Homo-oligomer: A and B are copies of this chain.
Amino acid sequence: MQLHIEASNGIPIYEQICRQVKFAIANKALQVGEHVPSVREMAGRIAVNPNTVSRAYRDLQTDGVLIPIRGTGLAVTPEAPAKCNAERLDLIRDRLRIVLAEAHHNQITPDEIRQLVESELHRLESLDADNSLKPVTTGETA
């Protein structure tokens, strides 16, 4: 259960938390019945206000993904994996749709879009390669 929060990529922090918890469940990094990190611990871990985490967890309860266990914490519901699996690609599709629509509105051709996508995919892969080659170093070259 490790979250990647981006200070601002346009998505509110509480929503980023929601999305990533769902991804974690879809990817089986979080199992049914397992407790999600406590509000205060998660807040400390990702350097964010506890209220913001609480807001995210509240939304996840509304979605039926988490269930409160009084005085103990929040557990992943039995229905969660199915829901999160179903949502897995939709969460990305919705974001992707906005970007591609903008591109299309502004006469970026499908081939140009494909080229951008491929170059970004390669970029992500090479970032992975770098990280696996030197997993400990902090990245300084000098």
Contacts and interface: CB of A to CB of B under 8 A. Distances in A.
Interface of A: 4, 6, 9-11, 19-20, 23, 26-27, 88-89, 92-93, 95-108, 110, 112-114, 116-117, 120-121, 123-125
User: Copies per complex?
Assistant: 2
Contacts of A20: 105-106
Contacts of A95: 98-99, 102
A92 B92 CA distance: 16
Contacts of A92: 99, 102-103, 106, 108, 113, 116
A118 to B, nearest CB: 8
Given A10-B11, A105-B4, A106-B23, A112 B100 contact: no
Contacts of A11: 10
